[in-house]
Amino acid sequence: MPCILDDVVEPALQYAPVEFLVREAAQAWERDEAHALRRAVFCIEQGIFAGDDRDAIDAQAQLLVAMSCLGGMPDQVVGTVRIHEAAPGLWWGSRLAVHPSFRSQGHLGATLIRLAVSRAHAQGCETFLAHVQSQNVALFHKLHWRSLGELAIHGRPHTEMQAELDFYPPCHDAVSGFVSRRKGTE
């Protein structure tokens, strides 16, 4: 709908980012927004946790973020995931979250998953696992993960899954990360 100012009709501006930077959180605001997004998704939207979803793993985990870009600069955290090494060579990914307004992009969750596994692979990962909510299993299968078994976590159905590392080349520079574009803008 156009905006009317003093009898002048201007088209309404509808901003939709076309470029996203997916990398390791490098600044305090990125970490703060990632934790706020996790709270919004896991505490408020899904009701899995009361108050906060942080746990002991956060102290050792690497936090990855997907940020919308404005004029080529990171503007807002719209997705996140954390990775950690549980034992030598054994890595886990967890707390994958994408802001509801950006889930239709489709590529953000997949790009976060690719960076998570590629980053761990660069750090000596021999096995990369995740407990995946059942509604997301098909996405992980498309990204070359295999199901190991079903279980319930926090009263919700999950599948333990393992990434096929051959499909994830090591990413040695997680702060530079990946650039992802909205479909139809390449």
Q: What is the CATH number of the domain that holds 41?
A: 3.40.630.30
Overall average pLDDT of the 48-70 stretch: 94
Q: How would residue 22 be classed by pLDDT, with cut points 50, 70 and 90?
A: very high
pLDDT of 77 higher than 80: yes
pLDDT of residue 149 exceeding 80, the answer is yes
Residue 114 in domain: yes
CA 157 from centre of chain: 20
Classify 89 as helix, strand or coil.
coil
Cα(90)–Cα(122) distance, integer angstroms: 13
Share the mean pLDDT of the chain: 89
**76 is a domain residue:** yes
The span from the CA of 98 to the CA of 65, in Å, is 10
**Percent with pLDDT over 70 in the chain:** 87
Whether 165 is in a domain gets the answer yes
Higher confidence at residue 10 or residue 107?
A: 107
Q: Is residue 4 a part of any domain in this protein?
A: no
Q: Is residue 101 part of a domain?
A: yes
**29: three-class secondary structure by DSSP:** helix
Instruction: Give the C-alpha separation, 45 to 107, whole Å.
Output: 21
Instruction: Please report how many Cα atoms fall inside a 13 Å half-sphere around the Cα of residue 99, on the Cβ side.
Output: 15
Q: Which amino acid is at 15?
A: Y
Query: Among residues 27, 47, 48, 119, which one has the least CA distance to residue 82?
Result: 119
**Residues 6 or more apart in contact with residue 25 via CB below 8 angstroms:** 31, 34, 63, 64, 65, 80
Q: What is the CA radius of gyration of the chain?
A: 18
Chain CA centroid to CA 138, Å: 16
Residue whose structure tokens are 């926090």: 154
**Is it the case that residue 10 has pLDDT exceeding 70?**
no
Asked if the structure places residue 39 within a domain, the reply is yes
Strands 90-98 and 127-133, bridge-based pairing: parallel
Does residue 7 sit within a domain?
no
Share of the chain above pLDDT 90, in %: 72
> Which structural domain, as residue segments, surrounds residue 122?
17-181
DSSP run (H or E) holding 15: none
77: left (phi over 0), alpha (psi -120 to 50) or beta: beta
Q: How is residue 33 written in tokens?
A: 């927004």
- Within a domain: 9: no
Domain count, the chain: 1
